[in-house]
Amino acid sequence: MHRWLGLSLGTLAVVLGISGAVLAIDPVQQAWQAPAAPGDLTVATLVERVMRTVPGAEEIRHLPSGAIVVFSFAGEQPQAAYVDPADGRVLGPWQASALPRWVKNLHRSWLLGDAGRWLAAGTALAMAVLCASALVLLLRRMGGWQRLTKKVRGTLAQRLHVLTGRVVLLVLCLTSITALTMSASTLGLVALDAGTEPEVLSVVSGQPAWSGAQLAPLQSLRVEDLRKLNVPGADPEDTWKLTTAQGQGWIDRYSGQMLAWQDASLAQRVVDLARVLHTGESAWLWAVVLGLAGASVLLFWLSGLVMWWQARSQMPQITGNAPMAQADVLIFVASEGGSTWGFAQTLQDALSHCGHRVHTSALEHFQTTAATKQVLVLAATYGEGQAPAHASGALALISKCKAHQLSVPVTVLGFGDRQYPAFCAFAEALERTLREQGWPALLPLECIHQQSAQQFARWGLALAQALNEALVLEHVPRVPPTTVLSLIGRQDFPVAGAQAAAILRFAWPTEGLRSFLGTRGLARFLAGDLVGIVAPGSSVPRFYSLASGWQDGFLEICVRQMPGGLCSTHLLGLQTHDSIHAFIRPNPGFALTQSRKLVLLVGAGTGVAPLAGFIRRNDRRRPMHLYFGGRDPAQDFYFGPEMERWLGEGRLASLRTVFSRVPHGGGYVQDALRRDAARVRHWVSQGAIVRVCGSRAMAQGVAEALDVVLAPLQLSVAQLKAKDRYAEDVF
């Protein structure tokens, strides 16, 4: 509902938002054009001052901005002027609005008269529904009200959409509701009149008429409560007519008595309040807020359009689908952005190649048939551990399955990002529900990190062994546009065997604006982001953590030879001026935020690369403490000379090194953390941020060691992750 309303009515909403932002200038302009009346000034005093300087005054109006405007005639020519309430002095001419009238007509009626007012009301209703659905989606993505202020992860478009929503969503919701309220009165759906105005006339007594300063009702009324005061004309039966927010009254010009009073209707008061909240009249600071909120609609629409297009481009059309009733293998998919469907297509093609009849469908269609022999579920996790939107009722559906279906094995494969505290939480919940219901499993739950094609292929080997079939999963993800990078330097670390490594530095491409915008696959990258490299003869990119940012003027990675590794072999064989094809994949969950908080860095082997990038750009000398683990300082002390220099420059506060393959080398980084438990606890108690990079086994060992070290503080790695203070980059 949110997506299609936004796509279908987004353009209309943008026009309303931008025109509303322009109209919000009016209250601000009025507030600066003339002084407001003092809070204790009475209407009687104001009348006395105005009548002295503008003898022919016929109406005194108190604008919502606080300014005083007097209407009069000079001969046959009507005039309106600002006056200073302090002395009644004329300050200058007044115009209802300096903004073009067509902007208001565009905003209120689409320049179409009454039909346009109905269209504007319909757009306001759609905006209200959009805001309500956006609030539901925002709370679901962030994990509830308590986590609403937590760090936002995702693509640039997703972060812009969510961050802007957190700031202005409630304001936009309020403007939509107030617009509907005002439209109801404009279209005659709500009666505002309190009733027919009474017929009142002053009683001519032969006595001279009282001046406004002598009228008791005006002496007790403050100017801040005044809306409008009409001065009696030449007809001796004319009365003073007083209008306030509470209603209107008629005052006898000879006796000063209130002849009649008519309270404002409840509907009128509601509409008046809605007008203030919608336009910012009488509150120029609120008008500024409204203007910014209106302008943000364009950002909402553009980022939402990008998000929709990205999801659409990742959503493949499943080919070769057998009818469900005839399929012996069923694949069910839960995917928020659409990328998991690509893995499902790869799995279906491989199973079909082995002779299976396969049917792939969304998880909300979960069921089995008489022909079903295996069920495979590919489940991504959304937000803070929730199911993707389309599969929100899947757990309840599975729990209602009939007992005779429970003999079919159901295997779950999770997709997620380890930077999230609730990594693959929905897949885990799905696994628990299936096992509690009694469904058997062909394989235990496996979780894929950041859509890794390599992990998916390894899971495919386990599946092939379980099925006793020659099943091969070669998933080819969609590769974004790439940029050609030229090697300008390398530092080699040769070792015995097949574990050689090198630090490779590539030139920053000078392609002008297109490169700056990332249109060729290389955006403004940061240390800790990932570079995808497509080796010759391969269609699957390999990802390496970046040891540099775009501000360094080069792109640097640390590569170790992997047994049989096509990409690592290619990279380590490069010579100066050789080139590669690469693109950037942001890794915002691992990046360091701008702050002065202490940072604890833990890396092993080539995993030190992004940590070196953090230290390299530590121009503000933020306290950074590095624990580095290798095998032999003579063979794999990556960035060793640079670390010594960074220590001298103050970019690195302290360095602990351990080497596992030399006598007295200190073991592993987790051993060093245990030995330094006291100072690690001190850093964490002071709010330290932790970043860990290396192999999965190393990251697991570090997490276990830190859980023990932090136990006296009643803290754990899971708690630090939940507070966005702990992130891993593992391979």
Domain of residue 580, CATH code: 2.40.30.10
Query: Rounded to a whole number, what is the distance in angstroms from the first to the last CA of the chain?
Result: 38
Overall domain count for the chain: 5
Q: Are both 502 and 634 inside the same structural domain?
A: no
Predicted pLDDT of residue 515: 43
Q: Cα 377 to the chain's mean position, in Å?
A: 29
Q: Are both 581 and 437 inside the same structural domain?
A: no
Q: What is the pLDDT of residues 281-307, one digit of tens each?
A: 777 788 888 888 988 989 889 988 888
User: Is 110 a domain residue?
Assistant: yes
User: Is 71 a domain residue?
Assistant: no
Q: Are both 244 and 328 inside the same structural domain?
A: no
Predicted pLDDT of residue 331: 96
Beta-bridge mates of residue 359: 330
User: Is 101 a domain residue?
Assistant: no
Burial state string for 311-344 with b = 16 or more CB within 10 A and e = fewer than 16: eeebeeebeebbebeebbbbbbbbbbbbbbbbbb
Q: Are both 458 and 359 inside the same structural domain?
A: yes
User: Is 451 a domain residue?
Assistant: yes
CB of 166 closer than 8 Å to CB of 312: no
Q: Are both 629 and 539 inside the same structural domain?
A: no
Q: Are both 151 and 297 inside the same structural domain?
A: yes
Predicted pLDDT of residue 516: 41
Residue 328 neighbours by CB under 8 Å, 6+ apart: 356, 357, 358, 371, 372, 373, 374
Q: Are both 188 and 295 inside the same structural domain?
A: yes
Report the distance separating Cα 710 and Cα 634, nearest Å: 33
Residue in 489, 587, 469, 589 with CA at minimum distance from that of residue 532: 587
Q: Are both 167 and 305 inside the same structural domain?
A: yes
pTM of the model: 0.63
Residue in 64, 70, 186 with CA at minimum distance from that of residue 124: 186
User: Is 713 a domain residue?
Assistant: yes
> Domain range holding 219?
212-256
Is the pLDDT confidence value at 319 over 60?
yes
User: Is 644 a domain residue?
Assistant: yes
Helix/strand/coil for 378: strand
The CATH number of the domain holding residue 630 is 3.40.50.80
Highest mean pLDDT among 32-41, 192-201, 566-575: 566-575
* DSSP annotation string for 645-688: HHHHHTS-SEEEEEETTSTT-B--HHHHHHHTHHHHHHHHHTT-
Q: Are both 613 and 712 inside the same structural domain?
A: yes
- The token pair that represents 437 in the structure block: 């219901």
CB of 15 closer than 8 Å to CB of 127: no
Task: Using the structure block, give the residue that is written with the tokens 């001046």.
Answer: 211
Q: What is the pLDDT of residues 514-543, one digit of tens each?
A: 444 343 445 578 999 999 998 888 778 889
Q: What is the pLDDT of residues 51-79, one digit of tens each?
A: 999 988 999 999 887 889 999 988 788 89
Instruction: For the chain, give the mean pLDDT.
Output: 87
Q: What is the pLDDT of residues 77-110, one digit of tens each?
A: 889 998 999 999 998 888 766 566 788 888 888 8
- Cβ count near 601 (within 10 Å): 23
438, 467, 496: which is the final residue of a domain?
467
User: Is 60 a domain residue?
Assistant: no
Predicted pLDDT of residue 403: 57
pLDDT classification of 703: cutoffs 50, 70, 90: very high
- The token pair that represents 458 in the structure block: 């390894």
CB of 687 closer than 8 Å to CB of 723: no
Q: Are both 167 and 295 inside the same structural domain?
A: yes
User: Is 228 a domain residue?
Assistant: yes
404, 437, 467: which is the final residue of a domain?
467
Write the DSSP symbol of residue 390.
Answer: G
CB of 716 closer than 8 Å to CB of 710: yes
- Cβ count near 421 (within 10 Å): 21
Q: Are both 303 and 320 inside the same structural domain?
A: no
CA distances from 186 to 54, 279, 294, 702 (A): 35, 15, 22, 66
Q: Are both 444 and 326 inside the same structural domain?
A: yes
467, 500, 535: which is the final residue of a domain?
467
Residue 348 neighbours by CB under 8 Å, 6+ apart: 318, 320, 321, 331, 358, 360
